[in-house]
Amino acid sequence: MPSAAVSTALAAGRGDRARLDAVVRTAAAATLWLGLALVSYWWAGGGGVTDLGSWAEGLTSLGRLTGLLSAVLLLVQVLLMARVPVLERAYGQDQLARKHRIVGFTSFNLMLAHLVLITWGYAAGELGRTPATLWQLVTRYPGMLLATAGTVCLVMVVVTSVKAARRKLRYESWHLIHLYAYLGVGLALPHQLWTGQEFLHSAATTLFWWVLWGAAAGSVLVWRVALPLVRSARHALRVTSVVPEGDGVVSVYMTGRELDRLGAEAGQFFTWRFLSGPGWTRAHPYSLSAAPDGRSLRISVKALGNGSAALASVRPGTSVLVEGPYGRLSARARTRRRVALIGAGVGITPLRALAEELDYAPGDAVLLYRFRDTPLFDRELALLAQERGLRVRMLPGSRRAPGSWLGAGVGPADDVTALRYWVPDIAERDVYVCGPQAWAEDVRRTTEAAGLAPDRFHVESFGW
């Protein structure tokens, strides 16, 4: 497509999609703050502020407030990772995951404060009586045994979500433990109906909580359970071949029915379950490594764990269950005619697909690819350079120093100087990045130092 046509198409598409995504993000943030303000207002209207005048009642009152705020954030946390399409398109998985993490830890801390304050208040403000009071609350109050079990589940999830703990767990183990968050939420919230006065003292509050609970539960059932099952049945994906790419990477080719209706774009990812034996119940997120053509799909995966290593032995004809497509590392995020694609290692996979699908004139797209030993898709990238005018810059070698995203083979120039040398107009482009999380953050800092606006940095990073 000629450069002028690309600019015209982008201008038209950018206006509609960018405005819609911005409206959704604004509405989502406003809804969250409105929900928190509402429960705080109802707490204050129910005597919450007045009760602060005495020690014991003040502790109990603060315990109720922290419990209410924690409950709202706990349900919002579920919504953020329920794969709701309108949120997926507006934020992308990377942003949603970061917000999910912040909301989750905030909710957990408020829940702990709720437990401490409410118990201390019920113990008439006497620390010595709190253990016995806690035992009485757990064993005598309706729903508290369930809430205790739910709290244990949530503690387990939070502990394994701390970065130091995550590094010691296999992805498969972490994913299985993380599913207990749904059980924790389901067990922790019912006691509020039986013992929480703020939940039942008016029709408005009751309606608010039932709507919020229904939205969280319904979103999970529809978008995480029902839609993937329907989509998998409709498209009947099967493996056609598994091709070694070198350096422990294999490409898995799949075909199915009506793949043009799947709605996938280059740069997006799915979560995959290959029905090839034990372990099929655990889904793994892999990006498309070729632009979807309506007839077939391809992913390219490096053997980094049990699930990814097992793909090398998957046989043709194996059935595949999918969830997705997910992610905003696609043409949807594009706002400029010129683009820069920056990838590391197997992170080249979605960028290679983008380089194939995006519209650009010769020279308007540049790819910077850092790899340790052997580059992936070198022939395919050379063909894209020849046929599409993609500018490719290979950056070989391990990372040369902490805080640098460049390989040791690129010379002594600092990161910003090197980036500006290879892409002098980097500040005027959209930048798509995929690689390990810490490496991607180093790229972000470098591009911002080179003048790139933060909203034109689009990232999909490894990590869970």
Cα–Cα dist 89/75, whole Å: 20
H helix runs in 316-450, sequence order:
348-357, 378-388, 415-422, 437-449
Beta bridge partners of 343: 369, 434
What is the rounded distance in angstroms from the CA atom of residue 53 to the CA atom of residue 225? 48
pLDDT at 196: 58
Task: Assess contact for 51 and 63: CB atoms under 8 A.
Answer: no
User: Which residues lie below 8 Å from residue 44, measured CB to CB, with a gap of 6+?
Assistant: none
- What is the pLDDT at residue 247? 80
Q: Please report the pLDDT score of residue 180 as a whole number.
A: 58
CATH class of 236-326: mainly beta
What residues form DSSP beta bridges with 242?
252
Per DSSP, helices labelled H in 123-189 are 130-140, 144-161, 163-166, 171-178, 180-188
A 10 A CB-CB count for 112 gives 16
Token pair, residue 34, equals: 């409105």
The domain spans of the chain are 3-231, 236-326, 331-462
Which pLDDT tens digits describe the chain residue by residue (464 residues)?
444 554 555 445 555 777 788 899 999 999 999 999 999 999 998 888 888 888 888 898 998 899 889 889 988 988 988 899 999 888 888 888 889 889 988 988 998 898 888 888 878 777 778 788 777 776 676 666 666 776 777 777 767 666 655 566 566 566 566 665 666 666 666 666 655 556 666 788 888 988 988 999 899 999 999 999 999 999 999 999 999 998 889 999 999 999 999 999 999 999 999 998 777 778 889 999 999 999 999 999 998 777 788 898 999 999 999 998 998 899 988 989 999 999 998 999 999 999 999 999 999 999 999 998 889 999 999 999 999 999 999 998 888 778 889 987 777 889 999 999 999 999 999 999 999 888 999 999 999 999 999 989 999 876 54
Which among 69, 85, 66 has a CA at the least distance from the CA of 77?
A: 69
Contact at 8 Å (CB) between 397 and 409?
yes
Closest CA to 223 of 85, 24, 88, 326: 85
The domains spanning 236-326 and 331-462 adopt the same CATH topology: no
Is the dihedral angle over the CA atoms 303, 304, 305, 308 positive or is it negative?
negative
Rounded Cα gap, residues 457 and 430, in angstroms: 6
> 38: Cβ–Cβ under 8 A, 6 or more apart, which residues?
208
Q: Is the domain covering 331-462 a CATH 3.40.50.620 domain?
A: no
Residue 342 is predicted with a pLDDT of 97
Q: Which two tokens stand for residue 178?
A: 């993380």
Q: Residue 421 CA to chain centroid, in angstroms?
A: 33
Class of residue 250 by CB neighbours under 10 A (exposed 0-12, middle 13-18, buried 19+):
buried
What's the CA gap between 408 and 397, in Å, rounded? 5
According to the model, what pLDDT value does residue 11 have? 47
- pLDDT for position 89: 87
